[in-house]
C-alpha cells in the first residue's frame, strides 16, 4: 500500500490540512504553537491517486469534518478533491478514477467539507490559515461512524520479467500511439520491484522514445482525456514558464530552467543556438547536487539539450525517473511545446526558418506504479491495436523487384531522391546475408515487411509469376 505522508498531532481535533505539493513540515512550522495543537492531521497530496488514501484516513478518524487545502496545486489534485467533496456523487469519483465504493464512502463525503485556501498560500497569508483553523475548531465531536476502507487495486499477479534488458527504442509520429507502445513494453518486459514510496512498480530500464515532427504542428490526441484530463497537459506546460517556486516546495521545472542561480537557461539555449547553430552546448539542467541529494522529492527531468541539423532543431530530454502512465505524456507534450517556442525565438533573431524535427525522451527508470496497473490494462485493452499503426521510416524506403532472373533490393532516402544501396541475387539467402547488420531499419515492423517482400519476390520468380511489391 502507498505510504501516507502525514503528521498526526491532536486526534481530538476535527481539523485536517492538505498541503498538496508543499512540505507538510514547512507549513506546520509556520503556525503558532497554540494553533498547531488545533490540528489533527497534516499531510501532502501530490497526486489525484492520493485522494483515496485521504478518504481512507477520514474513515479511520470520524472526528475530522474539515479539510483545509493550503499549498500549491501543481497537479490539480486539490481541485479534484474539491470537486469530489462538493459534488458528493459517484460520477465525480469515476471522472477522477478514484476507485472506491461510493456507497461505502458516501457518509464521509456527506459529513466532510473542504475549505479552499490555495490562493491564500500563494499570497503567503498564514494568518488567514490560522484564523480559519480557530473558527472551525470543534474538538471531541464525532461526526460519523468509523469506517474501515480497504483499498483494492485489482492487480494482476503475473507481471514482471526476470532480468534487466538493454534499452528499448520507440519511434512514432503520434504521442498517444507512442504511449500505448511504451505501456506494452513495460507490461511485457518490466521488472516488478518495490519503490521508495512503499508501493510496487513495474520498471523497464532506459526506454528511448522519439517523435518525428519534421515541421508538423502537433495536436494533442483527444483519446488521452479518458485517462489523463487534457487540461492537465497545459497546466503542466505552464509550469515550465514560471520562474518562481512556491515556498515549501523543493523545485519546479520553471524555477530550475528559468532561474537557476539567477540564470535563465532557456534564454541561454536560444541565444547559443541563434549565434552558433553548430553548437553542442545548448543544454539546460535541473539537478543541483547541493540541494537535490538531500531532497525526498528531487527533479525527475534532469536535462534538455538542443541540436540543430540542417533546417531542424532537435531536442533530447534525459529523465532519471519517469512515471510512464501519468508523467511521460505530460513531459513529452511539454518538450514538444518548448521546442516550438525555441524554434520561433531562434527564427525571430535569425530569419533562418528552422522547424522542429525530432524530440526524444530518455527515461532511465521507466515505470508504472501498482495503482495504475488496472488503468494500464484498460488502455491496452481498448487501444492496444495502435502498436500496429503504420509509421513511415525516416531512414528511407526499400524497393524490391525481379529483373534478369534475380531479385533486387534497393534502399532509397525517405524522399526517394538518393539511392544508397542496391543488390541483386538469384538466392534470397544471399540477399538476407547482405542486409544483415546494416542499420537501415528504424522500426521492427519495417524489417519484417522487407523480409516478407523479399521472400515473396523470390517465390514469384521461382514459379515464373510477375511480382509487384505490396500487391496482395
* Per-residue model confidence as pLDDT tens digits over 179-235: 999 999 999 999 999 998 889 999 999 999 999 999 999 999 999 999 999 999 999
Residue 27 maps to which CATH number?
Answer: 3.40.50
On whether residue 82 sits in a domain, the answer given is yes
pLDDT at position 364 is 98
Overall domain count for the chain: 3
**Closest Cα to residue 454, out of 443, 434, 438?**
434
Instruction: Give the mean model confidence (pLDDT) for residues 358-382.
Output: 96
The confidence band for 141, taking pLDDT boundaries of 50, 70 and 90, is confident
Domain limit, last residue, from 114, 136, 158: 136
One domain for residues 279 and 373: yes
pLDDT at position 471 is 78
Residue 428 in this model has a pLDDT that exceeds 80: yes
Mean pLDDT, the chain, rounded, equals: 94
Annotate the chain with three-state secondary structure: CCCCCEEECCCCCCEEEECCCCCHHHHHHHCCHHHHCCCCEEECCCCHHHHHHHHHHHHHCCCCCEEEECCCCCCCHHHHHHHHHHHCCHHHHHHCCCCCCHHHHHHHHHHCEEEECHHHHHCCCHHHHHHHHHHHCCCCCCCCCCCCCCCCCCCCCCCCCCCCCCCEEEEECCHHHHHHHHHHHHHHHCEEECCCCCCCEEEEEEEEEEEECCCCCCCCCHHHHHCCCHHHHHHHHHHHHCCCCCCCCCCCHHHHHHCECCECHHHHHHHHHHHCCCCCCCEEECCCHHHHCCCCCCCCEEEEEEEEECCEEEEEEEEEEEECCCCHHHHHHHHHHHHHHHHHHHHHHHCCCCEEEEEEEEEEEEEEEHHHHHHHHHHHHHHHHHHHCCCCCCCCEEEEEEECCEEEEEEECCCCCCEEEEEEECCHHHHHHHHCCCCCCCCHHHHHHHHHHHHHHHHHHHCCCCCCCCCC
One domain for residues 132 and 173: no
One domain for residues 299 and 189: yes
- Tell me the pLDDT tens digit for each residue of 440-450: 999 989 999 99
Place of cell 528531487: 298
119 class by beta-carbon count within 10 Å (0-12 exposed, 13-18 middle, 19+ buried): exposed
On whether residue 415 sits in a domain, the answer given is yes
On whether residue 422 sits in a domain, the answer given is yes
One domain for residues 187 and 288: yes
On whether residue 447 sits in a domain, the answer given is yes
In angstroms, the CA 378 to CA 372 distance is: 10
pLDDT at position 76 is 86
One domain for residues 329 and 429: no
pLDDT at position 314 is 98
One domain for residues 207 and 77: no
Q: Which residues pair with 82 in a beta bridge?
A: none
pLDDT at position 49 is 85
Domain limit, last residue, from 119, 136, 153: 136
**Closest Cα to residue 284, out of 308, 309, 301?**
301
Question: 369 to each of 104, 176, 200, 205, 207, how far by Cα in Å?
Answer: 25, 19, 6, 14, 16
One domain for residues 362 and 408: no
Residue 472 in this model has a pLDDT that exceeds 80: no
One domain for residues 213 and 329: yes
Report the 10 Å Cβ neighbour count for 235.
15
One domain for residues 245 and 291: yes
Report the 10 Å Cβ neighbour count for 153.
18
On whether residue 160 sits in a domain, the answer given is no
On whether residue 435 sits in a domain, the answer given is yes
Strands 406-412 and 419-425: antiparallel
One domain for residues 311 and 205: yes
Domain limit, last residue, from 331, 355, 385: 385
Percent of the chain with pLDDT over 70: 98
pLDDT at position 261 is 92
In angstroms, the CA 332 to CA 214 distance is: 16
Residue 2 in this model has a pLDDT that exceeds 70: no
Phi-psi region of 404 (alpha: psi -120 to 50; beta: other; left: phi over 0): left
On whether residue 282 sits in a domain, the answer given is yes
pLDDT at position 153 is 61
pLDDT at position 358 is 98
One domain for residues 97 and 204: no
**Domain carrying residue 267:** 168-385
Residue 14 in this model has a pLDDT that exceeds 90: yes
On whether residue 294 sits in a domain, the answer given is yes
Which residue has better confidence, 2 or 173? 173
pLDDT at position 118 is 95
In angstroms, the CA 380 to CA 396 distance is: 30
The confidence band for 152, taking pLDDT boundaries of 50, 70 and 90, is confident
Instruction: Give the mean model confidence (pLDDT) for residues 448-458.
Output: 95
- Tell me the pLDDT tens digit for each residue of 346-356: 999 999 999 99
Residue 310 maps to which CATH number?
Answer: 3.30.572.10
User: Is the dihedral angle over the CA atoms 345, 350, 353, 357 positive or is it negative?
Assistant: negative
Question: Does residue 434 contact residue 408 with C-beta atoms inside 8 Å?
Answer: no
Percent of the chain with pLDDT over 90: 86
One domain for residues 334 and 245: yes
Instruction: Give the mean model confidence (pLDDT) for residues 137-141.
Output: 90
Instruction: Give the mean model confidence (pLDDT) for residues 126-144.
Output: 93
Strands 41-43 and 6-8: antiparallel
In angstroms, the CA 297 to CA 44 distance is: 12
Amino acid at each position: 500500500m502507498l505510504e501516507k505522508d502525514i503528521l498526526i498531532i491532536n486526534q481530538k481535533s476535527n481539523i485536517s490540512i492538505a498541503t498538496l505539493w508543499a512540505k507538510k513540515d514547512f507549513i506546520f512550522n509556520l503556525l503558532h504553537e497554540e494553533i498547531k495543537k488545533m490540528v489533527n492531521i497534516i499531510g501532502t497530496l501530490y497526486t489525484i491517486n492520493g485522494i483515496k488514501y485521504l478518504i481512507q484516513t477520514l474513515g479511520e478518524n470520524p472526528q475530522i469534518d474539515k479539510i483545509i487545502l493550503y499549498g500549491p496545486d501543481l497537479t490539480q489534485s486539490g481541485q479534484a478533491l474539491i470537486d469530489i467533496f462538493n459534488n458528493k456523487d459517484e460520477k465525480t469519483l469515476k471522472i477522477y478514477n478514484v476507485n472506491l465504493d461510493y456507497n461505502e464512502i458516501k457518509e464521509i463525503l456527506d459529513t466532510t467539507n473542504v475549505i479552499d485556501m490555495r490562493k491564500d498560500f500563494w499570497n503567503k497569508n498564514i494568518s488567514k490559515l490560522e484564523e480559519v483553523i480557530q473558527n472551525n475548531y470543534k474538538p471531541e465531536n464525532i461526526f460519523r461512524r468509523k469506517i474501515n476502507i480497504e483499498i483494492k487495486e485489482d492487480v494482476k499477479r503475473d507481471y514482471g520479467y526476470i532480468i534487466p534488458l538493454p534499452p528499448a527504442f520507440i519511434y512514432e509520429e503520434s504521442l498517444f500511439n507512442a504511449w500505448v507502445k511504451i505501456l506494452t513494453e513495460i507490461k511485457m518486459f518490466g521488472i516488478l520491484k518495490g519503490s521508495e514510496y512503499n508501493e510496487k512498480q513495474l520498471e523497464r530500464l532506459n526506454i528511448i522514445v522519439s517523435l518525428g515532427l519534421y515541421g508538423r504542428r502537433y495536436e494533442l490526441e483527444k483519446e488521452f482525456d479518458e485517462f489523463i484530463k487534457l487540461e492537465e497537459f497545459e497546466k503542466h506546460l505552464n509550469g515550465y514558464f514560471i520562474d518562481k517556486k512556491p515556498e515549501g516546495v523543493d523545485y519546479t521545472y520553471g524555477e530550475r530552467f528559468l532561474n537557476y542561480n539567477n540564470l535563465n537557461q532557456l534564454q541561454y539555449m536560444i541565444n547559443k543556438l541563434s549565434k552558433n547553430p553548430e553548437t553542442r552546448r545548448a543544454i539546460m539542467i535541473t539537478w543541483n547536487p547541493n540541494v537535490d541529494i538531500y531532497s525526498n522529492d528531487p527533479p525527475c527531468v534532469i536535462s534538455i539539450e538542443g541540436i540543430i541539423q540542417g533546417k531542424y532543431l532537435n531536442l533530447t530530454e534525459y529523465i532519471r525517473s519517469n512515471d510512464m502512465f501519468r508523467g511521460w505524456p505530460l513531459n513529452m507534450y511539454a518538450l514538444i511545446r518548448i521546442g516550438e517556442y525555441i524554434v520561433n525565438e531562434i527564427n525571430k533573431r535569425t530569419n533562418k526558418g528552422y522547424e522542429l524535427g525530432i524530440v526524444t525522451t530518455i527515461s532511465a527508470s521507466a515505470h508504472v506504479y501498482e495503482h495504475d496497473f488496472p488503468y494500464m490494462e484498460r488502455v491496452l485493452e481498448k487501444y492496444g491495436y495502435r502498436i500496429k499503426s503504420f509509421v513511415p521510416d525516416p531512414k528511407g524506403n526499400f524497393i524490391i523487384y525481379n529483373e534478369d532472373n534475380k531479385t533486387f533490393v534497393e534502399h532509397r532516402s525517405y524522399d526517394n531522391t538518393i539511392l544508397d544501396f542496391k543488390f541483386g541475387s538469384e538466392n534470397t539467402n544471399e540477399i538476407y546475408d547482405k542486409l544483415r547488420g546494416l542499420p537501415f531499419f528504424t522500426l521492427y515492423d519495417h524489417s519484417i515487411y522487407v523480409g516478407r517482400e523479399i521472400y515473396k519476390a523470390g517465390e514469384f520468380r521461382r514459379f515464373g509469376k510477375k511480382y509487384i511489391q505490396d500487391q496482395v
